[in-house]
Amino acid sequence: MTDINLPPAFPFPYHERRLAPEFADRRKSCPFGTVRLQSGHDAVLLVRNADVAAALADTRLSHNMTAPGSPRFVEGPSYLDDPTMFANMEGAEHRRIRRIIASAFTPQSIANWHPMIEQVATELAEALDHGGNRADVMSDFCIPLPVTIIRRLIGVPESDAPQFRAWSNAFVSGAKMTLEQRIQQMTEFTGYVAELIAYKRAHPGTDLIDKLISTRDGDDRLSEPELVTLVTSTIAGGNETTSNSLGRHLLTLLDDDGALWKQLVADQDLIPAAVDELLRTTKLGAFFPMRLATEDVDLPSGRILEGQAVVVAVASGLRDETVYPDPETVKLDRPQVPTLAFGRGPHTCLGINLALAELRIGLRVLVERFPSLRLDCDADELRYTEGGLLSSLVSLPLAW
């Protein structure tokens, strides 16, 4: 028998392509209510754009939940237990590591990579075209594009790249697997990175991993666990979220007889705005950032008390009617609003410039090469990886 006095269960019922209607209901009637997570912990659920933006930027709402007993979405081991994980760090330690790696991801640094990104995207598109007039664009374009880029940035041998998909899925909980499978994949992944670091230390070069090793051996030291975790998370984060986004963006553009795709073909100048709009409307799974209040924090809709957990529903904030009129409709020419898709404040995603470059260039190459691109199946037949946090398309059959 359900206790009507308990907070509503969270997450709400999940659908791969739609946000649960409960979010819109709560934006109107309960923007600052408590929910009960699968772990049994309670948390305040933030659903409005103003609250989401303020919470993401406020350093008093901490990422660090590594202490025993800290709130969790679900029970069991997770990356939240690892104090060496960059995403779990705060203050001076976070600034130290961010400073070490940030130079590789500045707008100018990534601009220097644009010709290489275009070359890789063009070669992949040419291979698609030479293979006939239909292909699984997920496996033949969306996945290898970011994998190849991050492999070259880090300095990973090409022969090792095929293993990254399974490892990255385990790292970001991007595919359905047992706890034992996830532990095995993560053990293999971290073991590989540790061996790669050892090899690179004995055979130094000029790649990002060499710079990180040099820094670790210099005055501003990275510990060995920090170095392994940082390289592992850079590889996983640098390919899984981008390939997931690109596949889902293509599905959105090509659905409903491809009206949005035809709009892009007719006006390629819309591509930067289109990517922003697709990032706003296309969710990547069931991931909702959590924070822990280190002191009382006043947000636009209410006060978070010290020690209270917060769930930041970014996807709901990106559909706030007060900021985005007709929010459920994808409008490729929508007036630009600063996005929350990559976070805010000190923890803004370091890879934002790289991800935007890959999405924009990859989309442009496909638009130019395949103006008649279309879905080669019913969208309802498509399968997803069903990970705990991220869920990407297993395949995306397209024709032209």
Asked if residue 29 belongs to a domain, the reply is no
Confidence at residue 124, expressed as pLDDT on a 0 to 100 scale:
98
Cross-strand pairs, 175: 386
Residue 267 is part of which domain span?
83-283+331-399
Confidence at residue 1, expressed as pLDDT on a 0 to 100 scale:
44
The three-class DSSP label of residue 19 is coil
Q: Give ∠ CA 92-95-100 in degrees, rounded to 5.
A: 130
Confidence at residue 135, expressed as pLDDT on a 0 to 100 scale:
97
Q: H or E stretch including 135?
A: strand 134-136
Asked if residue 68 belongs to a domain, the reply is no
Asked if residue 161 belongs to a domain, the reply is yes
Q: Give ∠ CA 335-340-346 in degrees, rounded to 5.
A: 135
Using an 8 Å Cβ cutoff, are 390 and 245 in contact? no
Asked if residue 51 belongs to a domain, the reply is no
What tens digit of pLDDT does each residue of 259-287 get?
999 999 999 999 999 999 999 999 888 78
Confidence at residue 89, expressed as pLDDT on a 0 to 100 scale:
83
Asked if residue 2 belongs to a domain, the reply is no
Please measure the distance between the N-terminal and C-terminal CA atoms of the chain and give it in whole angstroms: 54
CATH number at residue 335: 1.10.630.10
Asked if residue 17 belongs to a domain, the reply is no
- In this prediction, the residues of the chain whose per-residue pLDDT falls under 70 are 1-4, 75-80, 216-221
Asked if residue 213 belongs to a domain, the reply is yes
Asked if residue 326 belongs to a domain, the reply is no
Confidence at residue 220, expressed as pLDDT on a 0 to 100 scale:
61
Which of these, 395, 314, 362, lies nearest to 52 by C-alpha position? Answer: 314
User: Looking at the 3D structure of the chain, how many domains does it have?
Assistant: 1
Which of these, 220, 215, 246, lies nearest to 231 by C-alpha position? Answer: 215
Phi and psi at 133, nearest 5°, equal -120, 20
